[in-house]
Amino acid sequence: MKVLDIIFLIVVTLFITYSFLVKEKVLDHGIKLKYFKHGDGEAIEDGQIVMLNLQYFDDDGNELLNKVGNDPVVLLKDSSWKNNGIIYEVIENLEKGDSVFFQITTEKFLENDPRLATTPDSLKDKLLSFYCGVENVMDKDEFENFQRKQYEKMQNQMNNNTEEQSIIDAQIIDQYLFDKNIEAINTASGLRYVISEAGSGTNAPVGSLVEVHYTGMLLDGTKFDSSLDRGVPFEFTLGQGQVIRGWDEGIGYFNKGAKGTLYIPSALGYGPNGAGGGIPPNSILIFDIELLDF
């Protein structure tokens, strides 16, 4: 083997050995960083966006912050970091891929907090323990692209979940109608409706101000709302998104004076969030309707 090759191997070996040996780094303020993992060696520059996994605990081991995984801390690196406190000094000394542990006193942590004039004596020397990992470092264009992809991914997941729930809802509604021997009209959206008493004239058009009496129930018959109980009809402009989608579509099948029932799948109602305590997530809704006027 040539001498230059031997020297090269020695240098590489020393570099690798050094990388494994360097487990700690002491900053200007005496903060000691203990490394779990070293990153790619590129410093964070002004104008870059930093995504951090960050956890910290008080002196008794109580978790005070947990921003990891899909919910990281996102910071824009700029000149203000030099005045924002010791945590920013720590982050400024990290590189993409670094993962570290460090401890600081409560006094040091809070000395740049404008909400506190002084740190209480009882807390000054209490140690806070931090685990910090630089998940990613991006410029603004890269970050905007990342956000767009994350939004698209979230939307696709929501759409997939909605499609799956719509299939489940359709099966449940159809079984309910079958068991009750109810003949309902199915629409392309998944809404089912029955006109039990015909009215007169044309159906209510989009954009019309409609006046409706209604009683809303869950599929098990639990009543959650009724305009009849209040003795006051409900008014809204049809097709303008002022009500749930099942109403915006369903009321359009009624003419003046008509009575009937809407069977609304959760995607056309309040979806996976529900509506307060009365309407749980993914609830199928039943509304007995009377279209009084428009």
Specify whether 225 is catalytic: yes
* Beta-strand pair 200-203/285-293: unpaired
Q: Which of 58, 59, 174, 225 is catalytic?
A: 225
Residues 6 or more apart from 207 whose CB is under 8 A from it? 237, 238, 239, 240
Distance CA 249, CA 254 (A): 10
Q: Tell me the Cα Rg of the chain.
A: 31
Distance CA 41, CA 14 (A): 17
> What are residue 29's DSSP bridge partners?
none
Distance CA 10, CA 3 (A): 11
Q: Where does the chain have alpha helices with state H?
A: 3-21, 86-92, 106-110, 140-179, 227-230, 245-250
Q: Which of 182, 204, 178 is CA-nearest to residue 193? A: 182
Tell me how far apart the terminal alpha carbons of the chain are, to the nearest angstrom: 95
Distance CA 142, CA 81 (A): 21
Residue whose pair of structure tokens reads 């009575």 in the numeric block: 259
Q: Which of 31, 87, 173, 244 is catalytic?
A: 244
Q: Which of 270, 286, 289, 294 is catalytic?
A: 270
Q: Which of 287, 288, 289, 294 is catalytic?
A: 287
Specify whether 287 is catalytic: yes
Signed CA dihedral, 117, 121, 122, 123: sign only: positive
Specify whether 131 is catalytic: no
Specify whether 244 is catalytic: yes
Signed CA dihedral, 245, 248, 252, 256: sign only: positive
Spatial contact of 264 and 284, defined as CB atoms under 8 Å apart: yes
Q: Which of 216, 195, 233 is CA-nearest to residue 276? A: 216
Q: Which of 130, 143, 193, 214 is catalytic?
A: 214
- For the annotated catalytic residues, the residue numbers are 214, 224-225, 244, 270, 287
